[in-house]
Amino acid sequence: MDTWEQTLTAGPLLGIAAVGILLILILIIKFRLHAFVTLVLVSVLTAIAAGIPTESLYDVIMGGFRSTLGDVGILVGLGAMLGKLVEHSGGAQVLADAMIDKFGEKRAPLALGIASLILGFPMFFDAGLVVMLPIVFAVAARLGGPILLYAFPTAVAFSVMHVFVPPHPGPVAASTFFGTNLGLLIIVAIVIAVPTFYVTGYLWGKYVGKKFSFTEVAGAVFGTDGQGVKNPPKTRTVIMILLLPMLLIFLNTGVDFATKAGAIAGDEIWAQAFTFVGKSGIALLVSVLVALPVLGTARGVDGNALEKLVDSSLGPIASVVFITGAGGMYGGVLRSSGIGDAIANQMEGLGIPVILAVYLVAVLLRIAQGSATVALTTAAGLMAPAVLAGDFSPVQIAAITLACAAGSVFASHVNDSGFWLVGRLLGMDVKTTLKTWTVQQTLESLMAFALAVIIFVIF
């Protein structure tokens, strides 16, 4: 694979990607073939059609699967365990009741979204969504409302924070390519992320909640046995356990910033310890270890019963994890086909404004290979020379960086692992996920880009 070079041009490569996506939709929607089998099959066919050498086929196909499972598997698994403990102990119900009492029934979806915005500052999309869903489901069950009304503000809050706001890897990586001031980027990103969440998360959630008004989904992943618990934890206990991974991740972020600023030495043992404990997977592991005695043993569940309780959280998410991994497999095959370089060659010399060019390159890469982070970092790397050559102010460079981020979230569909994660966790079939989540991600992209352009023009 090291010596292989793609000889196909952008046209055939985009055609192969389009046919592959169409085949996935037909096999799943019309022929009801399981999504995992479909994605693996189409990944193999796409790799062959793209001309990837036979001796490298298996490694290329499995590479995307391994990397996606490595990132998503541990986060979703530990997040599901934490969610199960919160739900079974009655903690989700207690927190749901407290939120409803505090904000009122009508503002419950917005309250869930705001809480997720705060949690989403350090937490990755996958981990945050899985941790918050038991509370979302408990609120929906308490109020008897449609799942999407409450779930979409939460999911979109984590999405906008993950895509636009440092310290998440996409915007941080893009800032290194464009030479963006990180502190300024955080401020501008929040200015863009908050209204984008309100319109494409909260208001869109109200719309899809009315149109797709199903209510029974909580039992599919987390169960509903947290209702009517005789010895539930206190609200502040639940809040502290949910905030624990965020606080640990903040330690990582703070040490990283301080190290880069030269305030501390990165080789200090305590700094390395904080960095390690603040990794998302380790932070969730620590949170689960704390939740086991606090939400398990202290509630009268211990020994084999506690082990079986935690184990029961993994079965329902197995399908989610494997389908998500297969989605990563398909995206990995598309990336290995060399489509990024082909698109970059086509975009050269079109003579359009830099901020629009950056956005369009990110959009094309997102549609073609699925991963928002890959689309963002690749587009930033490809367009960095044009941005650095321009006479832009620091705020304009921040706006360009966020325009690139906006393009990277456009139209999540079948080659995006997040598409399968959201759809499966919320109990939606492929058609419903396309009508709700794919459209939402498109709206999120367009609105964020429009706000970035306004900031670019004003400053």
Domain contains 432: no
Closest C-alpha to 356, from 338, 330, 379: 379
Residue written as token pair 């429009």: 450
pLDDT the model gives residue 413: 87
Task: Dump the DSSP string for 261-298.
Answer: TTSS-TT-HHHHHHHHHTSHHHHHHHHHHHHIIIIIGG
Domain contains 44: yes
Report yes or no: 440 and 158 within 8 Å, Cβ to Cβ: no
Q: In the numeric block, which tokens belong to residue 8?
A: 């196909």
The Cα-based distances of 400 to 181, 272, 406, 418 in angstroms read 12, 33, 10, 24
pLDDT the model gives residue 340: 53
Q: Tell me the pLDDT of the chain (459 aa) as tens digits.
A: 556 777 787 778 878 877 887 887 788 777 878 878 888 998 899 889 988 888 888 988 898 788 777 766 787 788 778 878 887 888 877 877 888 888 888 899 999 998 888 878 756 787 778 878 888 888 888 888 899 999 999 999 999 988 898 767 678 777 877 888 877 888 899 999 999 999 999 999 999 999 998 877 644 455 555 455 678 888 899 888 888 887 887 777 677 777 766 677 667 788 888 888 888 788 889 999 999 999 888 888 888 889 998 898 887 677 767 876 787 787 778 777 776 556 555 655 566 788 998 899 889 878 876 767 667 766 776 677 778 777 889 899 999 999 999 999 999 888 787 898 899 888 898 899 999 999 999 999 999 999 999 999 998
First to last CA, the chain: 46
pLDDT the model gives residue 157: 94
The Cα-based distances of 164 to 94, 123, 366 in angstroms read 32, 13, 15
The C-alpha atoms of residue 288 and residue 294 are separated, in whole angstroms, by 10
Domain contains 447: no
Report yes or no: 52 and 337 within 8 Å, Cβ to Cβ: yes
Domain contains 15: yes
Contacting residues for 151 by C-beta, under 8 A, at least 6 apart: 133, 136, 140, 205, 426
3-state secondary structure of 3: coil
Report yes or no: 49 and 330 within 8 Å, Cβ to Cβ: no
Report yes or no: 408 and 364 within 8 Å, Cβ to Cβ: no
My answer on whether omega of the bond before 166 falls inside 30° of 0, hence cis, is no
Q: In the numeric block, which tokens belong to residue 300?
A: 């009268």
The C-alpha atoms of residue 425 and residue 313 are separated, in whole angstroms, by 13
Report yes or no: 170 and 377 within 8 Å, Cβ to Cβ: yes
The C-alpha atoms of residue 120 and residue 158 are separated, in whole angstroms, by 5
Domain contains 108: no
Range of the domain at 42: 10-62
Domain contains 16: yes
Closest C-alpha to 425, from 203, 236, 217: 217
Report yes or no: 319 and 94 within 8 Å, Cβ to Cβ: no
* Cβ atoms within 10 Å of 275's Cβ, excluding its own: 18
The C-alpha atoms of residue 207 and residue 213 are separated, in whole angstroms, by 10
* Cβ atoms within 10 Å of 294's Cβ, excluding its own: 18
pLDDT the model gives residue 200: 97
The C-alpha atoms of residue 414 and residue 430 are separated, in whole angstroms, by 8
Closest C-alpha to 74, from 279, 273, 338, 348: 279
The count of structural domains within the chain is: 1
pTM of the model as a whole:
0.71
Closest C-alpha to 451, from 118, 167, 125, 198: 198
* Cβ atoms within 10 Å of 77's Cβ, excluding its own: 20
Domain contains 29: yes
Report yes or no: 414 and 327 within 8 Å, Cβ to Cβ: yes
3-state secondary structure of 131: helix
Report yes or no: 446 and 61 within 8 Å, Cβ to Cβ: no
At residue 89, φ and ψ (nearest 5 deg) are -70, -10
* Cβ atoms within 10 Å of 346's Cβ, excluding its own: 15
Domain contains 47: yes
Contacting residues for 44 by C-beta, under 8 A, at least 6 apart: 57, 61
The C-alpha atoms of residue 12 and residue 339 are separated, in whole angstroms, by 10
